[in-house]
Amino acid sequence: MSTAPATAPTGNPSRSRRDDVPAPTIPAPAAKSSRSRRDNIHGWAFSAPFLAFFLMFLVWPMISGAVMSLTGKSLTGASSGFIGLANYTEAFADQDMWRSLGNTLYFTLISTVPLVVIALALAALVNMGLPAQWLWRLSFFSPFLLASTVVSLFFAWMYNPEIGLFNDLLAKVGIPPVAWLNDPSVAMWAVVIATVWWTVGFNFLLYLAALQNIPQQHYEAASLDGAGGWRQFFSISLPQLGPTTVMIVILQILASLKVFDQIYQMTEGGPGGATRSIVQYIFEAGFTGYRLGYSAAISYIFFALILLIALAQVFTTRKRIA
C-alpha cells in the first residue's frame, strides 16, 4: 500500500527496554503456560465483538441463503418446503437470468476499460507537475462522494430526449437527437458514461498516489539519457505501475459485476430488459416476484461466477503480484 509505510511510526528502538528489566522472578515454565493461556483468552476476547457480527450478519446469512435456495420459500411467508435443486435447474433454463448475466458482463467489460484507461491518463497528465493539484483532484474525485441517486438524477436529466443538455449540445454540432436511456442499443453506454463520471476519480487517486511513489531519479536518469516525455511514460511509469494496474483492474471488475444502483435508478433495467443487471434480477425475483428461494438460488449462481472470476484472476496474475 502506498502511504501506509510512510505514516507508520518509524522509531528505531534498537535498544529495547527489555534489556534493562531484570528477568521475571517466577519460574519460567509456569510463566510461559500462564502467559499462553492468558493470551488465548485475551486474543479471543479482543476478537469476540467482530466475530459476533461476522457470524450473525455474514456467515449465518450465507448458510441460511444456501438453505433457502433449496426451498420454495416465498416473501409472503408461504413455503413449499424442500425442493432440492429445482430452483437451480429452473434458473439455468431461465432466459431472463442469462440475459441479466450477459448484461452484467457487458457492463463490466465496457465500464472497466474506460475506468482504468481514463483514470491512468488523467493521473499521468496531472502528475506532469501541473499547478493547483488540489483543483484537479477536487474536480475529478468529487463525483465519487455523491450517492448513486444523486448521480442518476443528474444524468437522467441531462439525458432527457427533448430538453436534456446532451441532445442540445449534439444539436449544436449538427448531430440528430439520441434517445439515450430509451434506446436499447444506447442505454447501457449512457449508464457507462454516468458511471465513468461518477467513479473514475477513485482509480485516478490510486494511480496518482502510485505515480508519486515512483522515485524521481528514474526520470532524471532517463532524461539525461535523452528519453522524452512519452518515452519516459512508457518505459518508466507504465512498468512501475504494473502491480497497481493489476489491483485496480481486479477491483474494478469485481465492483462492476455488482452494478445495480445507477441502472435501477436511471432505467429500471429497461428498455425491455436491455440494461437489467444480475443483482437487479436477484432483487426483483425476491421483492417483486416474492420468490425468496429462487432469488437465493440466483444469488448463489452469481456468487459462483464472482468466485470463478476471482480465482481466474488470482491464477493469471499470481506471478506478477506475488
Partner 1 sequence: MATTTLSKPALRPKGTADIVPNRRPKTPLSRILATVVVSVLAVAWLVPFAWATATALKSETDAASTPISWLPASGFTLDAFAKVLQSGNIPTWTLNSLFTSAAITAITLVISASVAYAISRVDFRGKRMLMGVIVASIIIPPPVLIIPLFQQMQSLNLIDTYWALILPQVIHSPMVFVLKKFFDQIPRELEEAALMDGAGRLRIFTTIVLPLSRPILAAVAIFVFIGAWNNFLWPFIATNESSLLTLPVGLQTIKCAYGIQYAQNMASALLAALPLIVVFLFFQRQIIRGVATTGLAGT
Q: 2 or 316, CB closer to partner 1? A: 2
CA distance to 39, 102, 154, 181, 265, per residue, from 163 (Å): 67, 32, 13, 14, 19
- E strand map for the chain: none
> How open is the CA angle 268-287-187, to the nearest 5 degrees?
15
Report how far residue 259's alpha carbon sits from residue 14's, in angstroms, rounded to the nearest whole number.
Answer: 51
Name the residue nearer to partner 1 (CB basis): 64 or 316.
64
Nearer CB in complex with partner 1: 145/185: 145
For the bound state, the minimum distance from the C-beta of residue 61 to partner 1, rounded and expressed in Å, comes to 4
Q: Smallest distance, Å, CB 307 to partner 1?
A: 7
By beta-carbon proximity to partner 1, the closer residue of 188 and 282 is 282
Residue 48: alpha-carbon gap to chain centroid: 28
Q: Residue 185 CB, nearest distance to partner 1 (Å)?
A: 23
CB 266 within 8 A of CB 181: yes
Provide the minimum distance between the beta carbon of 214 and partner 1 in the complex, in angstroms, as a whole number: 6
Strand, coil or helix: 173 = coil
Shortest Cβ 268–partner 1 spacing (Å): 11
276 in helix, strand or coil? coil
Residue with cell 436499447: 184
Smallest distance, partner 1 to C-beta of residue 249, A: 11
Q: How far is it, in rounded angstroms, from Cα 65 to Cα 71? A: 10
Choose between 11 and 272: whose C-beta lies nearer to partner 1: 11
The span from the CA of 30 to the CA of 32, in Å, is 5
CA distance 235 to 212: 16
Output the CA torsion 109→112→115→118 (10° steps).
-70
From the CB of 273, what's the least distance to partner 1, in Å?
Answer: 18
Query: Is the CB of 185 or the CB of 230 nearer to partner 1?
Result: 230
Residue number with CB closer to partner 1 (54 or 92): 54
Read off the C-alpha cell for 148. Answer: 448513486
